Structure 1
Amino acid sequence: MARLRRTLGLLFLAAFGIACGAGSEATEETSGAPSPEDAPVARYADTVITLAELDSAFIDAAGGPEAAADSSLHTYRNFLDQYLHFRLKVRAARDAGLDTLPRVQRNVHDYRQQQARPQLLREEVYGPLARTLYERRTQAVDVSHILIRPASSRDTLGAYRTAHAIADSIGQGIPFGDLAVRNSDAPAAQEKGRRGYRGRLGYLQAGEIVKPFEDRMYALAPGETSNVFRTKFGYHILKVHDRRPAGQPIELSHLLRRPQDDTAAAHRLLDSLRTEILEGALSFAEAARAYSQDRQSASEGGALGEVAPQALPPALRTTVAALDSVGAVSGVVQSRFGSHLLKLTGRQERQSFDEAYDELQDRLTGRPRTRQRKADVARAIRADVGATVDTARLRAAARVASVDSLARPLLTYTDTLSGAAPSAATLGDSTYTVVQVARHLMQMDGGAQTTVAGLIASFLNEKALQYAATRRAQSDPTLRRRVAAYRDGTLLFRYMRDSVWTAAAQDTAGLRNTYRQNRNEYQVSERTRALALRAPADSVLRPYATLYEHSSSIPAVLDAAVADSLVSTDTVYVTARSADVYRSVRTAGDGDAVGPLAQDDESLFLIRDTRLPPRPMRFEEARSRVVQDHQDRLEQRVLRRLRARYDVETFPERLRPPVSDAPTAP
């Protein structure tokens, strides 16, 4: 595995350099000297590696131009060999047909989707919705509405006619609120004192309601009434009363005296407290803790936390708007809750669209407007590239007569299939089988309740988005390089696994031979064996130190520790490379105790047993190192074959020195 990590590390460090210019085909010599960047530094088969390509790969492998500039010419020349070997292995993998393996193609397809799909959705789905939401958030709209719910999912015509009759009455001058309290099916329309009474919802902002409602709310001018429109709740008529700027969230503290007290006395108390606060004799937090009758905020020094100004009662909203700086304290202000002092403790500046995007996307994720936008984008792609579906074949597979029937029988379709799966749909030049459609149903949320028509739309929409993501990955240079690098990495992994790693691990005779030839290199170093007791605190270990001091008996210490749930014991082998906390054991005498000692968040008590001299490793002990060494030998053998097979030439003399080695001007 260490060998695998080193090889893949080299791959991905150079990945973008590889993808930028890999595979430059050798051409016939032309007149005129090539620029230094176009000069070949290596050649194999029908491919050349140019200096520009190597430079790009080296910069990526080094971690950027500055790090590359600090490298030596010797390092750069070594990289030429490493890079060339990487390219040879990838070429050999392609020549062996590894890029045609279904598993490899599936992995590359999945990676391409992972990289391109988020960009597609941001630009085509989330981006436009987020931009609209961001711009609309600057205004809050005061609205009323009337809701007429259909009596059932099949009886919508009656509700539609009722809503139109109410709209006609509004047009004839009957007050909107009177019609709402008499006719609206909204929950609070008839409940005095609740938000929504007489249809009045108050000020709303983008993102708080369903999109059809929001669209009309922002499209109407104050005083205008909408036409009849439908949402998932039923039919609506909407009236806009007012618009106002939507303030940014603020942090607010208050000191409250309840209205049941003498209002004049409460006013005098708060006014005197404000004077003390402004003069510095008393802090706002101290005053709130001592005098505020809002128990919840009083314990926090009056802090209300983050507050949306438009959510405040009108009198408080007006007062807060007049606080011109953080730290300002208001005069006494009345609300239906009582008498207040207010302190502005923080004010947020409006974020830019890019700064707000992640939060906007989170708010949009899973919302009906997002699902609808995604479906609209997918349908546009389907119309652009062409899509067909064999509904008769899908109905027959699902054993239903209508596409409005549930597709549930398709969940077991593969269990009854005999022979090749018949085709069911096409998109562009791709053909999909009934089995693929059935598998899509299995992966759908609520798939058992999906109709055949719904399944067809969901399947084709998903394939359309995949198609668009693939097309984007092919046309976007950065995405194309990223996918090419991943594909080359996948091919390298498969080639090395098949030709080196697996071969080395299974070559028992070769491993034994490598072990015999390098026996002197496989050594167990000098070690000190010791007993280690660990516990959460040194106080837990001190009794064991005392016990050993009096008994000098390791078995006695072990017997005592076995019954102690706070103490764990094990045998440790301390070498010159062990952590510092163990090294004191190396200089102690056999039988000596050390500690308790602190180690991270626990304590350690050590008893030295004996010194173990160096010795040769047995084959089983050295196996992991032997396998790695044998892999190195096999890899060098493979590279020699590849260099000969592809007729490799290198031109290290054409390498320019990195910046740090370049001569400086006098």
Structure 2
Amino acid sequence: MQKYFLVVVFSLCFFLNNAQNSKDEILFTVDNDPVYVSEFTRVFNKNIDLVKDESQKDVDEYLKLFVNYKLKLKEAHALGLDEKPSYKNELANYKSQLAKNYLTDSKVTDELVEEAYYRTVNEVKASHILIRLSDNPTPEDTLTAYNDLIKLRERVISEGFEQVKSQVHNGKTIYAEDLGYFTGFKMVYDFETAAYNTNVGEVSMPFKTRFGYHIVIVQDKRASRGERTVAHIMINESRKDSLQESAKQRINDIYLKLQQGEDFESLAKQFSEDQSSASKGGMLSPFSGGQLTSIEFENQAFSLEKVGDISKPFKTEFGWHIIKLYNKKSVESYESMKGELEEKVKKDSRSQLINSALTNKLKKQYLETDKQPDLSYFVSILNDGYFSGKWALPQDFKANSPLIKIGTKQITNEAFGAYLEKNQRRNMPKVDFNKLVSDSYEQFLEKQLLQYKEEQLAFENPDFAYIVEEYRDGLLLFDLMETEIWNAAKKDSVGLNNFYNDNKESYFWNKRVDAVVASSAKKATIKKVEKLLRENKSPEQIKLELNSENSIDVIFSSGIMDAQHQSLPSDFKFNTGISEIYKFNDAYIVADVKEVLPKELKTFDEARGMVISDFQNYKEANWILDLEKKYTVTINQDVLAKVKAQLNN
């Protein structure tokens, strides 16, 4: 885990400062390559709150990490990893992805984010009728679909949606469906807009999405349900318990104990089989509607009205649950959700509205005129083969003729001609060549403007340039570590076995017991259990004697348990036989220890994961020693003293 943490920290924060201040001093060199004070102090201050190891907050210790980082980068370049096609491709993809954050129109984006917030915190319940259309419908097909939906709309208004649905839905060309409640981003943007713009009880006019033509019938609108914080007790459906007790029986036993007044948190710690939450009394992170995988769990959580309410046992795909409501919140404020919503807007189809606004801005920034150039030449070289995907540029195509200039970049006919050729499709509906060329040119121009803006970002925006440089070094470092250490260690079967044999003392099972543990909220009940266990009564016999259909006084757990097991207190004595009574998790327990399993060596297969991790750390430490011999590191001690004084103030 440490190696991945360090790669992430350094890859995000270490980058070269190409414009060093003339007064910036050299802190150290790696084979005469300088590393400046400004870079070290910047990353030290930037990372200090991320570093958990207090020793690494010391300047000298941090400098060691920094030097090691520089040694690794030096080695990566020496190995030519920065020339690998996979590295170049991934860096280019990242750069392109990052550029999207800078290629936007802030005004339009803000308006869309505000709209998205309203639609996120308000739900619509709707139905719709859809007439499917092909990807390239003819004008006749489009008109027919529109007119058919006008008629269906009139029928829905007069006859009701359910009546029309039963008669027209075929699941192929016509869909009539109930959609239930939904919020923003759950439907395609055009459909979402129509639904939110239609009043409750009304039927929209026909509108188009990429699926075809729709009408939407809005039944209800309501505020979103907000956020819930719950704890749960979960029992797996497939249980590994030697008592052969069903999950349903066990969850019902726990529910009866809750009804008897026992503490929810205590029971969750003792019996919940969700290991990620049991130790926290079953507490889960807060969630909102639509956030959970299990719809049933979510509905049960939102059905609880008052803080402290507890559900009846219910089943999901994960097992049986009981949940308790700890907190309920209304929807978040706009300011708290703004960042998240902006990311969604940029990834959603509504981003086309942002692109259009940005394109208009870039036209003003980089073009001398907004008017289309003379495109008649392209109209003249098209023919009907374009609509069947068989058209090709003519042999005498005027590729080098200038078409348009974007900033300092001259675009020629060659680029637009290639665009036209690439974007023809088989079975395209025939349209007027003038319109086809004009529309295609606008799409082509938008792409060219965005591409040119992206190319200029590193010169126009220093933040963008720095982040790209950070990622460039980080990606290179990760590639180096994966090649030289992580994968190499995993594949070195001989080295792994030798390392295991040399370090066996590190790979032991702790002392464990094979035991049956009884738990009860009542000490008197546990005393009875202790007596019955000494009489060699089985857990089933004891439960029959002490529990009833309406009252669960004792619950048993069984299996192989170590000192950290949730059923055992920290001071539990590992002796065979009936244990003493312990107070634990606001309850009382007694155990019947069948066998004490001593501390024993793990086999190689049992310890494999730990062996690989330790072996990787071992290889990395020795590798760093080799790099220190290969490359000369010279630290300017006088400058370092000044850096320490500055950072320690």
The two structures have a TM-score, normalised by structure 1, of 0.46
The structure having more radius of gyration, on CA atoms, is: 1
